[in-house]
Amino acid sequence: MRIRLIAVGQKMPGWVTEGYNEYARRLPAGWSLELCEIPLNKRTKSADVQRFRAKEGEQMLAAIGKGDKVIALEVKGKEWSTEQLADKLGQWHDNGDSLSLLVGGPEGMLPEISNSADVKWSLSPLTLPHPMVRILVAEQLYRAWSILNNHPYHR
């Protein structure tokens, strides 16, 4: 199963890159997690943020793999327990699905980008820092895999 994490933003702090890479590398062959970074346009007081969001959204859509199930990470999406995530990943894996997970920029995704997704997933009702979302998603994917494979990581 190929999972592509498509996230707005580049040049993350070292701790973000290290945390994400740690969990991505733990996934076994057949469960690849790829990061696709979309450049974040520089926000200034006079910047046209709507235009930036639209451009970032177009780039996110272009990065989605052909035939992928698209999951938008949205604060108003469905909240899943880790066990529910494992069940969903197991179903998608068994169906031969590949996934594209979308993480918007500081202002979030435009509604038309989010609404084009097959599923909306909320990690938390809290507003989370976007760099941290990368680590949380990678860790939860690894944890869900561990549940599906009776690995002791999830106790």
Q: Give 10-61 pLDDT, tens digit per residue.
A: 888 999 999 999 999 999 988 999 999 999 877 778 778 788 888 999 999 9
Flag whether 126 is marked binding.
yes
Q: Which of 73, 72, 69, 71 is nearest to 123 (CA)?
A: 73
Flag whether 108 is marked binding.
no
Flag whether 85 is marked binding.
no
pLDDT given for residue 133 in this prediction: 94
pLDDT given for residue 50 in this prediction: 83
| Domains by residue range for the chain, with CATH | 2-40+50-154 (3.40.1280.10)
What is the reported pTM?
0.91
Percent above pLDDT 90 for the chain = 68
Distances in Å between the Cα of 112 and the Cα atoms of 49, 54, 61 are 16, 9, 11
pLDDT for residue 122 is more than 90: yes
Whether the Cβ atoms of residue 24 and residue 33 lie closer than 8 Å to each other: yes
Flag whether 44 is marked binding.
no
Flag whether 114 is marked binding.
no
pLDDT for residue 154 is more than 90: no
pLDDT tens digits for 68-112? 999 999 988 999 999 999 999 999 999 999 999 999 988 888 898
Flag whether 125 is marked binding.
yes
Flag whether 104 is marked binding.
yes
What is the average per-residue pLDDT within 106-135?
A: 90
Flag whether 73 is marked binding.
yes
